[in-house]
Chains A and B, each alone.
Chain A
């Protein structure tokens, strides 16, 4: 299997990358290549120009700034998984990164690449939706922010224009009382998830729940915002088993999962219920302890 011919530019700066992207039709960004290159090997993708952004060191940093956590788009999954600073300030990213593929994939695959690829079963897009994050994208001479809620337009489709480069991912910094958890089901370790649910919640100083955010992967054509399912938990100061299961039922009812050879619609709904109950229990416990997620 050999990819079709293409032209190649190793960009030395964001400006060079965006200029190159605008210079050809069907240009594509080459980030970690762990989704794009298999598609090219199978000739399902045939870009005319690849713009390699692997040398843009400025896109691989992580910083906490004025209440915002800012990740460079080229942060590799393995970095999210192992970096002490990320593990301390954004432990939910480390938890999610560990779920992605295998170490050889995580050594290359990137945060920005996963978001721009927008696979409906991928974990990081669902996490970005749950965290109400946003991405910064650059094009020749300009820059704009796209909130997570507007980023994912359909399966493998985002709101990015063809000449735009995703450079930065921003999420609100952790506050005391925040807790998050991501639960997913996979048939074999490292496979794409059959379904996954992220729960991010906030408890006030008295332990009462102030906010619940829920998002799922594998439960619809895009990472779905299922937060309305958690509204009934607001004001509660304890999480009973009954409440966790109720959240599961509401998430299952709101989900719109596909049915395929890996599982029927009903099966995925059942999974969503179990995963949401598990994630809310863990998020709740974390929100009640120092460190959170």
Chain B
């Protein structure tokens, strides 16, 4: 077992894990961050996306022992039920989610996009989000929501 310390949504997290434990499982089973969703568990769907040091990564393809000293951000660290992040608000307003399974990964992936480029074009949004699968919406309303965010002032983010 290895002790691993990292920052989780701004607070210190410390766990003792076997090397084979995936970050996704540590987040869900030990740290109650169940917003990271276990979809395909082989890197295809993007539902388990979290930010590690600001970069969107598949948490099913990283071992927890690899994130020692890193900053990990999950959906629990983005907005709150009473005060949604602009990306979350836009997805709600534009009906960019139905069952919600893919939504945390979508939000975190979009968060990295807007931090890289506050006003992405529609093409850029579509390319950037293409690694996150959604089986409900047909994507149209997700893209619409993110276009709305792209059109708003960057200080809102």
Contacts and interface: CB of A to CB of B under 8 A. Distances in A.
B147 interface: no
A241 interface: no
B76 interface: no
B137 interface: no
B3 to A, nearest CB: 13
B49 A1 contact: no
A34 B112 contact: no
Interface in B18-73: 18-20, 22, 25, 41-43, 46, 49, 55-58, 60-63, 65-66
A interface majority secondary structure:
loop
Given A34-B58, A104-B56, 10 more contacts: A2-B20, A5-B18, A7-B19, A8-B63, A37-B60, A37-B62, A50-B63, A54-B66, A102-B132, A104-B109
B19 A6 contact: yes
Contact of A34 (B43, B46, B56): B43
Given A1-B42, A41-B41, A190-B131, A104 B58 contact: yes
A10 B65 contact: yes
A5 to B, nearest CB: 6
Contacts of B42: 1, 38, 41-42
A54 B55 CA distance: 15
Q: For the side of the interface on A, what is the size category?
A: 20 to 34
Contact of B41 (A1, A34, A52, A107): A1
Interface in B103-130: 109, 112-113, 127-128, 130
B75 to A, nearest CB: 15
A263 B136 CA distance: 29
Interface residues of B, number: 29
B76 to A, nearest CB: 19
- Which 4 pairs across A and B sit closest by C-beta, in order of nearness? A102-B131, A8-B19, A38-B42, A37-B61
Contact of B43 (A7, A52, A105): A105
Interface in A214-264: none
Contacts of A30: 63, 66
A41 B66 CA distance: 16
Contacts of A52: 65-66
B55 A107 contact: yes
B19 A105 contact: no
6 contacts: A1-B41, A41-B41, A101-B131, A103-B109, A104-B109, A107-B57
Contacts of B132: 102, 104
B80 interface: no
A128 to B, nearest CB: 24
B20 A34 contact: no
A255 B132 CA distance: 34
Contacts of B109: 103-104
Contacts of B112: 103
A1 B128 CA distance: 27
Nearest to B68: A10
Interface string B68-98: 0000000000000000000000000000000
Contact of A189 (B2, B19, B57, B127): B127
A108 interface: yes
A41 B56 contact: no
A52 B20 CA distance: 13
Q: Which of A8, A52, A101 has the most CB of B within 10 A?
A: A8
A6 B18 CA distance: 9
A102 to B, nearest CB: 2
A3 interface: yes
Interface string A35-51: 00110011000000010
A104 B41 CA distance: 14
Contacts of A41: 22, 41-42, 60-61
Given A101-B131, A104-B58, A3 B20 contact: yes
Nearest to A189: B130
Q: Which of B56, B61, B109, B128 has the most CB of A within 10 A?
A: B61
